[in-house]
Amino acid sequence: MKRSRFLQLTGFASAVIVNPLLFQQDTNATINQLLGLNQSHLNAQKTLENQTYIAYLKLKDAAKKDGIDLKIVSGYRSFQDQKRIFETKFKRNKSNGLSDAENIKNIINYSTIPGTSRHHWGTDFDIIDAKVKQPKGDLLLEEHYHGNGVYCKLFEWMQKHASSYGFKLVYTNNFHRKGFKYEPWHYSYQPVAKTYFSIQQSKEFKSKWNQLQFEGKNSMTSKILNNYFKEHLGHINPSLK
């Protein structure tokens, strides 16, 4: 990534950087954050990125006034966390007889490849309404957020108010959208996430990601990875790009 381009992306175009080595260190630190390897951008509780956390508290307070108790059930996730999730699914699918290609395809319906999760960024979270009677089993199901679902009121409120606080639904219910399936529970803080998305699409990021190791990675062909970066990571709410 060119120096001028990175400064523009990170919002520090007016800063004067004298030492190229310091700039490179800053670039590497940001990429490591997005890979889930560095937590220096997070709040004290290690749940969200600092700016995202401040905006979330305002969102939560507004929702409370309307009788909704926002609760994050999944916020920041480290590389090791995502690695554990991915490898568990990979081993299970493999024991069930799935080929390597089928295995990867099955996992990335909902789960990201380690090092590429938006949850590494600290800008994204999955939410429920803690005030209602919780459903049995998996909380994050589409049926809970629509129709007579227990989180229907929450979803409708977020659709109406989330944007005012900078939050956008990531994986929208768009028939023409490819990649990850629709997730009515997954929101992202746009002011920071747009910058992070641009960095994630850079050659520098992909070069660092290539150095990561986890079970199943050797099964990923260049075609699988190219499609994944283009469709799964790229086919999101346009306002987040």
Furthest-apart CA atoms within the chain: distance in Å: 59
CB 146 within 8 A of CB 184: yes
Amino acid at site 101: A
pLDDT digits (tens, 9 = 90+) for 166-181: 999 999 999 999 999 9
The CA angle 85-234-113, to the nearest 5 degrees, is 15
The residues, any chain, with a CB within 8 Å of residue 207's CB and separated by 6 or more, are: none
143-159 mean pLDDT = 98
pLDDT digits (tens, 9 = 90+) for 177-217: 999 999 999 999 999 999 999 999 999 999 999 999 999 99
Ranges of beta strands (E only) in 130-179 are 167-169
The domains found in the chain, sorted by start residue, are 3-240 (3.30.1380.10)
